[in-house]
Chains A and B, each alone.
Chain A
Amino acid sequence: MDLTGQLLQLLFTGFTLGGIYALIALALVTTFNITGVLNMAQGEFLALGALLAASLCAAGASLPLAFVIAVATLALLGGLLERSAIHPARHAPGLILIIITIGLSISLRGLALLIWGTEPASLPAFSGGGPLFVMGAAVNPQSLWILGLVALAVAGLHAFFELTYAGKVFRACEINRTGARLVGINPAALSFLAFAGSGALGAAAGIFIAPVTLATYDMGFLLGVKGCVAAIIGGLNSVGGAVLGGLLLGILEAFGAGLVSSGLKDALSLLVLLGVLLGRPEGLIGAVAGRKV
């Protein structure tokens, strides 16, 4: 493969990784702006969704059916967790809410371990056939599915916030909670919806990436952390920033992976997170990406 091909190959890998991070960051940023909670358990939604779908497929369900059931279950779980753990502590200091989501993350990971054990599960690729070749670089068709989901999620969120009444309500709630309540909007219901949506989007993302990465009970934690990195790079306040942050991190990781040992690959994104937090905590591209959620 020539140099262009190699670079292109890395770029494609980066886009795939970046798409995954972007999906997590999207859920994080949306929830954060509505509830003020950075959901450290978001990564676990991916793991649970993927594992559940894999089990359903193994039990004979078709992939679309498994997808629908897993997404619905995780939406329910997300909402349930919001009601039981986030809502009762909604007036607590930020400190407590952060600890709660970390605790949820650990509990969910333990739950996954209890149910599915340590064996990785796999899901079939959505479309058959071998990799596509673009200028000598191989593209896994599943990557295109992932990027497609990113585009769909962005379009969906955009349409929801800009075009529907409920979306405008979401934004009103974000701007002014008291004001939202005055016009008859219930912030508690929005918080519930945000977590249910996060669960659904998380499950969908998990199922989309499982054919590439396999599904394991502990895949969620680092994914969640990397989603946070992407969201922080994006400034924590915009859909566009989250997507750009995710793609940037993915490409950085893809190119960086060739330079450092695989053991240090994860260290790279953590270094990025530390660097951004210590140097430019307001995010690298928040201002550029513009519009808020």
Chain B
Amino acid sequence: MRVLEKIRPPAGTAGCPAACLIKIYKVNSSQIDFNSVVNRSYEDMLKNAVVLTVLIFFLVLPLLIRSNYLLGILIVTGLYTIIVIGLGILMGYAGQVSFGQAAFFGLGGYTAAILSTSCSWPTPAALLAAMVLPGLVAALIGRPTLKLKELYLALATLAFGILVHILFNEGGEITGGPSGLMGIPYLSLGGLVFDRDIKFYYLVLAVVLLVSLAVHNLIQSRTGRALRAIRESEHAAEAAGMDTVLLKLQAFVFSAVLAGLAGGLYAFYVTFISPSPFSFHMSVQFVLMAVVGGLGTFWGPLLGSGLVVALGEALRWAVPLVIPGAGGEYQIIFFGIILVLVMVFRPGGLGSLFSPPVHRERPGRPGEKGVDDSVAGG
């Protein structure tokens, strides 16, 4: 129960600071005298300021760094953030985990690559397809498995992830096999061609911002409330008329769509695609990013992606110093160990270091068996 408690963010943390003004307006107009209004609006304004500061920081950052290597890392981190935001909804709210996000990422990448090269689609259309196809596949996988325990979606996505990776490698001319596909055009929206890293950086920043805003809207909405309710008590959520299976399915499809979006953007960024970034290990890294940053928090995905990418780069530099001749596969040891440590000791993510879990009495909840348990009471 202790661990269970930790994974839940304290009440109100779902709120995004950016909405502070709207929130104050809402509270005032509801004509109810909350004695906490002053405190809350102050808090919200503070949060708002933080968001604004972070945004300005990322806007001017490229002007400060003059290294294409760092800019590239920032772009990839942004793409991962998009994926982790989606995975965070699935894990933090629907309580399910996917070990196939790298496959959706790759599916989006290959869809964009193939459609924009062999099929000569305009790049925006190819990008759209890169979101739609993973979404459809996720719907297919999620429909039967999300009715069951967490285990089944985890296994199905794991199998799917490895399978897709094999297919990328064995896809012959369609996927280009292990060497992949080259000559992917730059993304062009209207007259704007994203042919330089700096342009692409701002595009990714805009997409991350847009996705964050959309997810913030979602969490604050009726649907978001339902997702949070499912996390708190699935039985009560159902008794209140929430279609929990549908909501979980929507969350899963949404996570796949976002991974596909990131994949499409990735293809148009590097203009070359091969199977290696879409392995099962990458899926595990996405899960790691989601849990390290903290599930169900606003900053979690950005924090988690940034930390894991930074750690990966640091390890790539440090490991060969300690173990001569070591390749990239050693990184994954550390990722595995960190994943276990975080899950065992800090399931709320590293974000929970800053905001310690609020201690509170929980109402009694049923055991694993749920309904069967309460039968005993009759």
Contact = CB atoms under 8 A, between A and B. Distances in A.
B217 interface: no
B96 interface: yes
A216 to B, nearest CB: 13
Given A99-B291, A107-B336, A264-B166, A274 B95 contact: no
A259 interface: no
B330 A278 contact: no
A114 B170 contact: no
B156 to A, nearest CB: 4
Given A93-B95, A103-B339, A114 B160 contact: no
Interface string A80-101: 0000110011011111101110
Given A92-B347, A270-B159, A103 B336 contact: yes
B239 to A, nearest CB: 20
Contact of B156 (A106, A109, A111, A274): A274
A105 B332 CA distance: 11
Contacts of A110: 329-330, 332-334, 336-337
A38 B151 contact: yes
A290 interface: no
Given A94-B151, A100-B343, A111 B160 contact: no
B287 interface: yes
A266 to B, nearest CB: 6
Given A99-B287, A103-B343, A93 B163 contact: no
A91 B155 contact: no
Contact of A107 (B156, B170, B340, B345): B340
Given A270-B163, A278-B144, A114 B333 contact: yes
A277 B287 contact: no
Contact of B7 (A93, A98, A273): A93
Contacts of A178: 367
Of the listed residues B166, B291, B335, the one surrounded by the most CB atoms of chain A closer than 10 A to its CB is: B166
Contacts of A105: 336
B255 to A, nearest CB: 14
Nearest to B333: A110
A95 B152 contact: no
A235 B1 CA distance: 29
Contact of A99 (B156, B330, B339): B339
Interface centre among B140, B145, B155 (most CB of A within 10 A): B155
Interface in B250-288: 281, 284, 287
Contacts of B155: 38, 228, 232, 273, 277
A261 interface: yes
Interface string B67-110: 00000000000000000000000010001110100000000000
A84 B345 CA distance: 11
B154 A267 contact: no
Give the one of B1, B284, B323, B367 with max A CB within 10 A.
Answer: B284
Contacts of A113: 329-330, 333
A134 B311 CA distance: 56
B33 interface: no
A123 B158 CA distance: 31
A95 B343 CA distance: 10
Nearest to A277: B156
Given A89-B344, A99-B291, A277-B156, A106 B339 contact: yes
A195 to B, nearest CB: 14
Nearest to A178: B367
A192 to B, nearest CB: 16
Given A93-B95, A103-B337, A106-B335, A85 B4 contact: no
A214 interface: no
A89 B333 contact: no
Given A114-B323, A278-B141, A281-B152, A99 B158 contact: no
Interface in B315-352: 323, 329-330, 332-337, 339-340, 343-345, 347
Nearest to B281: A106
Interface of A: 36, 38, 84-85, 88-89, 91-96, 98-100, 102-111, 113-114, 178, 225, 228-229, 232, 261, 263-264, 266-267, 270-271, 273-274, 277-279, 281
The 4 A-B pairs with the shortest beta carbon distances in the complex, nearest first, are: A110-B333, A106-B336, A103-B339, A107-B336
